[in-house]
Amino acid sequence: MFFTTLETTGMPAPSEGAARREEFTWRQLFSGLACAECGRCDRECPAFQCGYPLSPKELMEHVKHLVRGDNGKPLDAAAVWSCTTCMACMERCMCFNEHLPLIIEMRRRLVAEGAVDASLQEALMKLNRYGNSFGSPARARPKWTQGLPAPVRDARKEPVECLWFVGDYASFDPRVQPATRALARLLQAGGADFGILSEAEVNSGNDARRTGEEGLFEVLMEKNLAAMAKAQHRWVLTTDPHSLHALKNEYKWTNGHGAVRHHSELLAEWFSSGKLAPQRRLEETVTYHDPCYLGRYNAIYEAPRRVLEAVGVKLVEMPRMREKAFCCGAGGGRIWMEDAFKVRERPAESRVREAAATGATTLVVACPKDLVMFQDAIKTTGLEGKLQVKELAELAAEACSV
């Protein structure tokens, strides 16, 4: 316990990456020596469990060999790129070892050397050029607002209390846009004084940073900070837990800032206070997936469940829940990468099978990337017609008839 970190959970140290012993920090090297080789990290790792070439335990063994000065078993680049940055390995490690900073340092070196998957490289280039991984022009970002009961205000042009950082998938992906509009209707029904950055918003950079593209993260962060500095607001609302983590824990705010909150927290508060009131109870049996960046990274477990309780659904928990929740496989830039090798199954496929086994007919998520990953997984596992995926805001909107 004397070696636990005091830094923000999972936050990598700025550097040009590492591969040789002298390029890692003493804390990173100590992790290799401290490893008890119990294998808990492998049992929790979604990549390892699904047949990807990553073993967190072997990562620690690799570092141990670096410390001792012998070659040992080389760590393949494919293993480094298999990580979803879900932090399950660190959550379960009894030695408090930090696997993720090691992996991200190695990824930074691979990025510097140009050893990057082609599909990932394309996504990073789109982020740099367009500010989003979809390659869509900035002017298309607020198009999702069309058809709402009332216009969504531009926070750059008039003061608002709440600045909604919508995020890429919530803005551009047609599979996610219905959930985005549902949240907007809830905000309007609750009388929220909110606005968006419109075309001035760019990707938060969280996933770019986890791929090892530190420079791109800095560029995206500075653009968002500059845009938010011009918008008069008191606090920030996020749709995506990945954006929540970046804005709340890793952005370099120079003039201070108000709270950064996830929409599940706001909805739970509003249902509790009566600002939102269900018009009908939803007669559904659901199970809930804890997003990695909402749960393990930011310890937000109760708010989504309070929303589910408020709307009247029957919640049946999966065996792997809360801090033990199994990753969907999207994090760490994996949502942008193609599998270059055969695996037993993808993490999202494992998760939807677990969800279906509970007897629930609806898998509830609180992350746009989860929505995308699980919708695809339901198709590839043959669970169409047996299990559906809904975003938390969609259920809340149904219950409130908005």
pLDDT at 61: 85
Domain at 51, CATH number: 1.10.1060.10
Considering the domain architecture, whether residues 150 and 262 belong to the same structural domain is answered as yes
User: Do 193 and 165 sit in the same domain of this protein?
Assistant: yes
Q: State whether 355 and 295 are in the same domain.
A: yes
Give dist(CA 274, CA 190) in Å, integer.
Answer: 9
Residue 9 resides in a domain: no
Q: Is residue 145 part of a domain?
A: yes
Residues 232 and 297 in one domain: no
Domain of residue 307, residue span:
274-400
- Assigned domain for 260 exists: yes
Residues 135 and 263 in one domain: yes
Let me know if residue 304 belongs to a domain.
yes
Per the DSSP assignment, residues forming a β-bridge with 195 are 153, 163
pLDDT for position 258: 77
Same-domain status, 182 and 241: yes
CA distance 317 to 203: 32
C-alpha–C-alpha distance, residues 186 and 276, integer Å: 8
Please tell me whether residues 175 and 53 are part of one structural domain. Answer: no
Q: What are the residues whose beta carbons fall under 8 Å from the beta carbon of 109, sequence distance 6 or more? A: 16, 17, 18, 19, 23, 212
Q: Is the dihedral of CA 389, 392, 397, 399 positive or negative?
A: positive
62 and 179 assigned to the same domain: no
The C-alpha atoms of residue 116 and residue 307 are separated, in whole angstroms, by 41
CATH number of the domain within which 205 lies: 3.40.50
Intervals of the chain under pLDDT 50 = 1-3, 14-15
Do residues 287 and 317 make contact, with C-beta atoms less than 8 angstroms apart?
Answer: yes
Last residue of a domain, one of 239, 267, 295: 267
The whole-number pLDDT of residue 14 equals 47
Q: Which of the listed residues 64, 84, 113 is the one where a domain comes to its end?
A: 113
pLDDT tens, position by position, 41-64: 999 999 999 999 999 998 888 888
Whether residue 304 sits in one domain with residue 199: no
Is residue 136 in a domain?
Answer: yes
Do 251 and 336 lie in one domain? The reply is no
Residue 3 lies in a domain: no
Q: Are residues 217 and 258 in the same domain?
A: yes
pLDDT at 20: 63
Q: Are residues 262 and 228 in the same domain?
A: yes
Count of structural domains, the chain: 3
Q: Does 15 map to a domain?
A: no
DSSP single-letter state for residue 398: H
- Please give the pLDDT value at position 126: 98
Structural domain ending residue among the three candidates 267, 284, 300: 267
In a domain, 119, yes or no: no
